[in-house]
Amino acid sequence: MNTKMQTQEKTDLLVVNKLTKYFPVRSGVFQRTTAWVQAVDKVSFAVKNGETLGMVGESGCGKTTVGRSILRLIEPTSGEVTFNGEDIIKMRPKSLKALRRDMQIIFQDPYASLNPRMPIGEAVMEGLQIHKIGHPKERWEVAINMLKKVGLEEYHARRYPHEFSGGQRQRIGIARALALQPKFIVCDEPVSALDVSIQSQVLNILKDLQKEFGLTYLFIAHNLSVVEHISDRVAVMYLGKMVELTGRDSLYREPLHPYTKALLSAIPVPHPEVKRDRTILKGDVPSPLNPPKGCRFHTRCPIAVAQCSQAEPEFKEARPGHWVACWMVE
Amino acid sequence: MTVSAQNIDNLKAEAISIEERSPFQVVMMRFVKHRLAMVSLAVMIVIFIITIMAPYITSFKVDELNVNNYFVPFGTVDEATGRVHYLGTDNIGRDYFSRLIYAGRISLSVALLSVLISETIGILVGAVSGFYGGWVDAILMRFVEFMLSIPQLPLLLIISSMLLRNENLIPIPEAVLNFVGKIMLLGPKDARNAILIVIILAGFGWLSSATLMRGTILSLREQTFVEASRSLGATDVWIIFKHMIPNAMAPIIVDASLGLAGFVIYEAALAFLGFGIQDPIPTWGNMLSATQQYMFDKPWLPLVPGLPIFICSLAFNYIGDGLRDALDPRLKL
């Protein structure tokens, strides 16, 4: 049993290869494309079956775009996304619809992600209706079951979203994503809009459900502590590029990329006397409209050398299982 | 002043009951508080009941002539049969009261049907236009703007005179003729006349509701719950009917009630100019139109059909205002 589990864990459920998304900037009377926002640029990674891959980075770095491109909620410019051996990017609408049963998303804003005119029970069973699974009565039962799984009661099912708190709504969003029994869920900052006290509650529900259903998560967040709590491996993004990807412990103990180091040094320490060795980055994140040549981080990097502004570092496996894109890492 | 335990219990009970209210109930609560709208609603209900009861409360047929008894005063008793002309008779001796009631039934039905058709078309066109955007939107909206920029009354006159003269220009199925005939208490031939007017009115009425719907859809399209539905595998049709239209109904309902007022007036205007529903079918508009020559000698003749036109359009406007306030999500009572 144990060995079987291990081999299963090793297989890649989702492989993302050189995923790129450029958004056109249109201007003028004829709406010609005058520039491109390079939101995500050649990002490659894999998510293993049953694991949680955390993805961190500051706002605007393309985390969310990656999550939505994987689900094809936005069409990527180029690249490959292979899920269970099938290329999602080339999929036709019909097979894409079938795929939606296996891949789901939990949204950041619990207030906007539920239709205000739809009772939440109906919202949870919407996926079943769309895929014509079961009879109406069975669907309703599934919906109530799912609501119970996230700590809500049967009598809640007929209520409308405005009658719930943010945390409850986020749990409803989780129930909706789970109703189709997916294998893989993109959690797009699911707790960043919530109160700190509610955050842990939602995180624990996510963890429990992962155990119960054998789910795989891509967990997008900007809060490093949250990511440390839930992830098996962590990817760090900067300005549309992935800069580091490794196991959680190795990332938090021995980060290789200077950007990751700076991020980690910004985590507040809950002890008044501990002196922190903070790396303060200079300047702002450059615009993705016109990203710096070479390594995108070189304008703010404390250890940049001449080479960094000329050529882009490759995203390579510097240590076993530890991927990083930096010239200074050997 | 102290808060007793009883009060706290009441507060709790109230808090719970607020939680139990559906959006519909909340809207109803707010609407009921709008006094002018409630009075208007009551007036309109009375008027509708009267027109529905038309055959039972009138004693004369609408086209029953009594050439010797034209322009008799209010309350004159018909000597041969003992029936009363409550509002006198018109220029060719037809009972004014009966005509007024039947006319109300026809005018209001025309307005209601026009609103139903124009809002349905407006909702669909606006939803498609706003949802798909791009060239679909560009074509549809340019067409709407083109139509809206034409002076409407002259165009309405041309089209209605064209349609009324060539009866077979638009084929209307028998079933529709019979159905509309039943609503308006008209024979199939006269029903055709009424339906043509409905088509003309709705043909222009949908333009503004389409632009209204498009604007609402444009803002809804970017909402996360639409993306959520898409991620569940929903088709465009599903999203439009399950998520877009239910959320866009509030302005449409308001538009519809204001539209009723507009159509009552438009129908009257067409009839007044002689291009609406033709005599002997009574409508408020053509009754008003028929009094033109006599209105200085006998001023009550235009007032009798004019007053219900005025009351209905006012009442529909107030109801619309009340609904607008009740449906506005920013107002929380």
Specify the CATH number for the domain of residue B278: 1.10.3720.10
Residue B333 in any domain: the answer is no
Residue B60 in any domain: the answer is yes
pLDDT at A4 exceeding the cut of 70: no
Q: Structure pTM?
A: 0.82
**pLDDT per position as a tens digit, B192-223:** 888 989 998 999 899 999 999 999 999 999 88
In angstroms, the CA B247 to CA A158 distance is: 18
Residue B16 in any domain: the answer is no
Average pLDDT over chain A reads 88
**pLDDT per position as a tens digit, A25-51:** 888 777 788 888 989 989 999 999 999
Residue B318 in any domain: the answer is yes
Residue B147 in any domain: the answer is yes
Residue with more model confidence, B14 or A244: A244
Residue B256 in any domain: the answer is yes
User: What are A121's two structure tokens?
Assistant: 């029970």
Residue in chain A closest to B16 (alpha carbons) equals A163
pLDDT band at A212 (very low <50, low <70, confident <90, very high): very high
Contact across the interface for A115 and B247, Cβ inside 8 Å: yes
Cα A107 to its chain centre, rounded Å, is 10
Residue B14 in any domain: the answer is no
Residue B331 in any domain: the answer is no
In eight-state DSSP terms, residue B279 is T
Say what the pLDDT of residue A3 is.
43
pLDDT band at A139 (very low <50, low <70, confident <90, very high): very high
Q: How far is CA A155 from CA A147, B24, B124, B146, in A?
A: 10, 19, 35, 52
In angstroms, the CA B144 to CA B134 distance is: 16
Which of A290, A326, A222, A237 has its CA nearest to residue A22?
A290
Which of A226, A165, A217 has its CA nearest to residue A199?
A226
Which regions of chain B are under pLDDT 50?
Answer: 1-3, 14-18, 333
Residue B307: give the domain boundaries. 29-326
The structural domain count of chain B equals 1
Say what the pLDDT of residue B82 is.
78
Residue among B18, B27, B225 with most chain A CBs within 10 A, to mutate: B225
Say what the pLDDT of residue B21 is.
66
Q: Which of B19, B231, B234 lies at the smallest CB-CB distance from A105?
A: B231
Which of B123, B45, B34 has its CA nearest to residue B328?
B34
Average pLDDT over chain B reads 86
Residue among A95, A111, A130, A218 with most chain B CBs within 10 A, to mutate: A130
In angstroms, the CA B85 to CA B64 distance is: 12
Say what the pLDDT of residue B326 is.
87
pLDDT band at A7 (very low <50, low <70, confident <90, very high): very low
In angstroms, the CA B284 to CA B261 distance is: 13
pLDDT at A158 exceeding the cut of 60: yes
Number of Cβ atoms within 10 Å of the Cβ of B74: 13
